[in-house]
Amino acid sequence: MKKIGFIDYYLDEWHANNYPRFIKECTKGEFEVAYAYAKIDSPLNGMTNKEWAMKQNVELLDTIEEVIDKSDVLIVLSPDNPEMHEELTDLPLKSGKPVYVDKTFAPDKETAIRIFKNAEKHGTPCFSSSALRFASELNDIEKGEIYKIYSEGPGTYEIYSIHQIEPVVMLMNCRAKRVMGLGDEKHPSIIIEFEDGRYAQIHQCIGANYKLTLADMENRASEYPITSDFFALFIKALVDFFKTGKIPVEHNQTIDVIAVREAGFDALKKPFAWINL
C-alpha cells in the first residue's frame, strides 16, 4: 500500500476532508492518506488539526520534513490560500517524490514560475490542475475548430475562476494575450484574447452550472453542459500520476492559467480596459 502525505495550511477544509475517501475508493485501498501536517488550526470551523487527524484516522506529524520522509507521494493542499503554496511546496518539491499541488496553483504568474523552477531544479515530478480539466465532455472536442468560447459557472472569482479559466486555456491551446473585465468583483465577467486572435468569455453567477458554448469560424455553436463526475475523473488522473510520475498538465500551461487569473483581478477593477499578460 502506497502512503500519501498531506501538507496543508489548515486541515479542516473540503479537499482534505474528502480526498482520503475519494482516493481510497478509486484505488480500492492501493493508496491511502496516511500522514498529514498543517501550519495552523482551521480559522473557519474551529476544528483543530489534531481533531481532524483523529476523525480521518491519519497520523498528524509535527513537520513537513517528517511527512516527506514517511510518505511515498505528496499532496500540497491549501486550496483556498494559494499564497501559501510557495512556502508549503518548498521542501516537497526538493524531495524528488511525486507532488500534486492543489488548485489554485499560485496567486500570480511570477510565483508560479518560481515554484515550478524549484521542482525542475530538483527533478521532482509535479502538477496542478482544476478538476474541471478532466470533465469527460471535453475529451472529444475538436480543438482546431474552436473560434470562440463562452463559459458559465458559479462562485466567486477568487476561489472558483480557476475552474473556468483552465478548461478554456486547455481547449484554445494557445497563449493568452490580454484580458478585459466586463463586470466587477461582485459580478465577474472577463474576456480573454488569445495570441492567434480568438476570444473566450468567462461569466460567473451564484448558483450557475458549469457550461461551455463553443463556436466555429462560421459562428455555429455547440453547447457542452458539464454533468460528468469530473472530480472522480480528476482523482483517477491524480492516481495515474502517482503511479507513473508522468504529469498530465504541462507546467507552461499552468503558468498561463495563473497569468490569466492574475490579469483578471486587475481587469475587474478597471472594466472595459485591456490588461496585457
Give the model confidence (pLDDT) of 115-164 as tens digits: 999 999 999 999 999 999 999 999 989 999 999 999 999 999 999 999 99
- The predicted pLDDT at position 9 comes to 98
Could you give phi then psi for residue 133, rounded to 5 degrees?
-55, -30
- The predicted pLDDT at position 183 comes to 84
Residue 214: strand, helix, or coil: strand
Which domains, and CATH codes, for the chain? 2-128 (3.40.50.720), 137-227+261-276 (3.30.360.10)
- The predicted pLDDT at position 245 comes to 95
Residue 224: strand, helix, or coil: strand
- The predicted pLDDT at position 46 comes to 80
pLDDT over 90 percentage in the chain: 96
- The predicted pLDDT at position 23 comes to 97
pLDDT block averages, 10 residues each, the chain of length 277: 97 97 95 98 92 97 98 98 98 98 98 98 98 95 94 96 97 97 92 97 95 96 96 97 97 98 97 96
- The predicted pLDDT at position 141 comes to 93
What distances in angstroms separate CA 39 from CA 8, 29, 43, 159, one per listed residue? 7, 28, 11, 21
- The predicted pLDDT at position 147 comes to 97
- 257: exposed, middle or buried (Cβ count in 10 Å: 0-12, 13-18, 19+): buried
**Strand 73-76 relative to strand 59-60, pairing:** unpaired
How many CB atoms are located within 10 Å of the residue 29 CB? Answer: 10
| Cell numbers found for residue 78 | 491549501
- The predicted pLDDT at position 213 comes to 98
Sheet containing 176-181: give its strands across: 221-225, 211-215, 148-153, 199-204, 189-194, 176-181, 274-276
What dihedral do alpha carbons 243, 244, 246, 249 form, nearest 10°?
Answer: -30
What distances in angstroms separate CA 122 from CA 88, 90, 151, 191, 212, one per listed residue? 16, 11, 37, 37, 38
